[in-house]
Structures are given as C-alpha cells and as structure tokens.
Structure 1
C-alpha cells in the first residue's frame, strides 16, 4: 500500500467579483461630484430597463434625500432624512486614516434626480431620486429620450 501526499494547493480565500463599471461613466460622475450644483441629463440601460434623469453627485443626492424626507411628517421621516449622512460618517470612522485613499477611489454608485424608469410592458414610473450600482449600468447616452 502506498501513501501519497496531497500536492493540490490549499484553497484560497473566497473572492467577491462584480462586473466592472464603465470607466468613462465613473470619471464623468467623479467630475460631477466636484461641484455640488452640477447635473447632467443622462439615459441609462440597466437590468430593470431604460432609465433617464439628471445625474447628480453623491453630496447633492444626500441633500435632496434629506430635504424630501423633512417634508414628511413623523419621527421616522426625520431619522431617515439623516440616514445617508449617518452611513457616510460610519464609513469615515471605520476607515479612519484610509479615508484619503477611499475618497480618491472612483465612484461605484450613480445618483439621478427627476427620473423616469421604463421597463418592459409596464408604464413609465417617475421618481424624484434614484441611486444605482454603476456596475449594473450596461449602456448610457448623454441627454434624455424625446
């Protein structure tokens, strides 16, 4: 009876992968993030269908999210109005010194205002704000459909 040693490599740690976002779209969003008053009309394709609206930066999205929820009555609305800033604060505290590296990374999310969502046989849906993962965007064009 022969004994052989197992020479297969040890299993590596699991690696989470996701589709790569379009670099040009990431750079466009990064540019919009530099001026909180800027926006740009854009049409996107994503798994849910066609989406169009004005792309805005993350800070502007947080401000408009907060403003829209402050118009709703009730304590829950006030708590939710602060939610995006609370998340950002937690990330800053978690990363500590790594924050400079974190802020210099390319964006992974896209934010739109005055959105119309068209998907399949359903009628158009209008939304005041929308946030989506950039890696889910499969195509984009400047402007809105006419």
Structure 2
C-alpha cells in the first residue's frame, strides 16, 4: 500500500488532541473573574458526538455551587471552591500589577500561568441523537474532549 505524504503529515499531527486555543483562552478568562457570574455566558459544545449546552461560569463558582447542592455543604467542594477562588484572585491581581508596571509575585505568576484544562457549565442540557436532552444543573468537562463549539445555546435550549 502506498502512503500519501500529505495525508501522513496530517494524521501524524499531535495538536489534534490539544484543546482549541481560542476556547481555552475564553474559558481561562472566565476562570479569572473574581465576582459571581449571573447568569453565565451561553455556550454550546460538541463532546464525543453529543451536543452540550449551558452557561459558562468560573471554575471556582462551579465548585461553590456543587458544595451547595441538596442543601448541604460538602467540605471537599467547599475547600476546592476556596482554593480556586484564591487562584483566580492571584491571577487577577497579577494582571493588574503587570498592567501598571508593578512587581508580580511568584504565587501570582504561577496562578496566572496555570493551564486551563476544564470547562464548567451551569443549567446544562446534553443532547444525544436518539433521545430527549438530559438536563443537569452543573457540568464539568475536559477542554481536550471538545471538538467544536459556538457561543450561544442550542436551538431547543
């Protein structure tokens, strides 16, 4: 069997498994917000052949809302929310310091440069080809699993 050099170069590219850099930047900017986001930014994603639509919220806010589900506060999720909020605050302050020519601490720089790996949605609908949409209050997924996206919600949402 003969190989096609053009096809071989496309198939061997390693960046196919990398998250979309534009979506990653969009989510990273959301994660750096330090105030609650209400109602969230409508977003639709394609994930392993499913359509996932919901409101994008910061990572720390997602953990805080999970901790409040079912009228209880789970210590793990409360702790994660506090940690993520602290990282968001550090990144936010690093940007402000950098913009005014101030000195950025190592902790602030680490928070600012931390890679964004997950996306967090609220009021989510998951559409599969053969059934009605499933509705979930909070959804978290890997950015590297998203194969396509668009701002806004799906037509039925």
Q: TM-score, normalized by length of structure 1?
A: 0.68
Query: Given the alignment, which residue of 18, 26, 30 partners 1:28?
Result: 26
What are structure 1's unaligned runs of at least 5 residues?
1-16, 89-96
C-alpha change, 1:104 and 1:113, in structure 2 (3 Å) is same
Q: Greater share of helix residues, 1 or 2?
A: 2
C-alpha change, 1:32 and 1:21, in structure 2 (3 Å) is same
C-alpha change, 1:81 and 1:33, in structure 2 (3 Å) is closer
SS of equivalent to 2:74: helix
Report Cα offsets for 1:101-125 as digits up to 9, x if no partner: 3541331100000000001212210
What are structure 2's unaligned runs of at least 5 residues?
1-14, 85-105
SS of equivalent to 1:129: strand
Deviates more, 1:100-109 or 1:49-58: 100-109
Structure 2: distance between partners of 1:85 and 1:129: 14
The higher radius of gyration belongs to 1
2:58 is aligned to 57
The RMSD of aligned alpha carbons is 2.9
Q: TM-score, normalized by length of structure 2?
A: 0.63
| Count of paired positions | 119
- Runs of 4+ deviating beyond 6 Å: none
1:82 is aligned to 78
2:67 is aligned to 66
